[in-house]
Structure 1
Amino acid sequence: MKTTIKDIADRAGVSTAAVSLAINNKPGVSDDTRERVIEVARELRYEPLTKLVSPDVDVVIRFLKISRHGHTINKNHNYFIDAYVEGISASASVSGAALEVEAYNGDEPLENIITKINESPQITGYLILGTELSEEDIRTFVATKKNIVFVDTFLDYISADFVDMNNTDAVYKLITHFINFGHSKIGLIKSSVHTRNFQLREKAYYQVMEDIGLEINENLIIDVDSTFESAYNDFKNYLAEKPEIPTAFFAINDIIAMGCIRALQEEGYKVPEDISVAAFDNLPMSVMISPQLTTIDVSKREIGQTAFDILLLKAGREESPPPRKTLIGGKLIIRESVKNLTQP
Structure 2
Amino acid sequence: MKIDDIARLAGVSKAAVSLAFNNKPGVSEQTREHILNIAQIHGYKPRTAKTGKEIYKPNAIIRFVACKNTDIVTEHYDTLPFFNELIHHITEQVKQHGNTLIISSIDLQRIQHELEVLEKEQPSAGILLLGTNLTPPMIQHIQSIHANVVILDTCFEYVDANFVSINNTLGGYQAGKHIVNLGHRHIGYVKSNTRIPNFIKREEGFRAALAEHDLIVNESLTFDLHPMRVMPQEDFQQAIQQLQEVPTAIFCENDYMAISAIKSLQNIGIRVPEDISVMGFDNIFEAKVISPELTTVHVKKDILAKTAVKLIIDHLDNRENSGAHIYVNTEVVERRSCIPLVSSPGE
Give the superposition deviation at 1:132.
Answer: 2.2
Give the superposition deviation at 1:78.
Answer: 2.8
Larger mean CA deviation between 66-75 and 183-192 belongs to 66-75
TM-score, normalization by structure 2: 0.75
> Mapping of 1:49-198 within 5 angstroms?
54-55=55-56, 59-73=60-74, 74=76, 78-105=80-107, 109-119=110-120, 122-198=123-199
CA distance in 2, matches of 1:234, 1:137: 34
Matching residue of 2:317: 316
Aligned 8 A contact 1:298 1:330 in 2: yes
Give the superposition deviation at 1:179.
Answer: 1.9
- Give the unaligned 5+ runs of structure 2: 1-21, 25-52
CA distance in 2, matches of 1:240, 1:269: 10
Larger Rg: 2
> Mapping of 1:1-344 within 5 angstroms?
54-55=55-56, 59-73=60-74, 74=76, 78-105=80-107, 109-119=110-120, 122-228=123-229, 232-242=233-243, 244-317=245-318, 321-341=321-341
Aligned 8 A contact 1:257 1:277 in 2: yes
Aligned 8 A contact 1:72 1:226 in 2: no
Matching residue of 1:34: none
Q: Report the RMSD for the aligned CA atoms in angstroms.
A: 2.9
Aligned 8 A contact 1:228 1:258 in 2: no
Give the superposition deviation at 1:328.
Answer: 0.7
Aligned 8 A contact 1:68 1:133 in 2: no
Aligned 8 A contact 1:187 1:248 in 2: yes
Change (3 A) 1:128 1:192: same
Tell me how many residue pairs correspond in the alignment: 294
- Give the unaligned 5+ runs of structure 1: 1-23, 27-51
Amino acid at match of 1:177: H
Larger mean CA deviation between 223-232 and 162-171 belongs to 223-232
Cα offsets for 1:212-236 (capped at 9, x unmatched): 4323322222222223267723312
CA distance in 1, matches of 2:105, 2:223: 32
CA distance in 1, matches of 2:166, 2:23: 29
Aligned 8 A contact 2:165 2:328 in 1: yes
Aligned 8 A contact 1:25 1:53 in 2: no
Give the superposition deviation at 1:25.
Answer: 10
Change (3 A) 1:327 1:120: farther
Amino acid at match of 2:250: F
Change (3 A) 1:115 1:145: closer
TM-score, normalization by structure 1: 0.76
Give the superposition deviation at 1:121.
Answer: 6.8
Change (3 A) 1:288 1:209: same
Aligned 8 A contact 2:94 2:101 in 1: yes
CA distance in 2, matches of 1:130, 1:263: 31
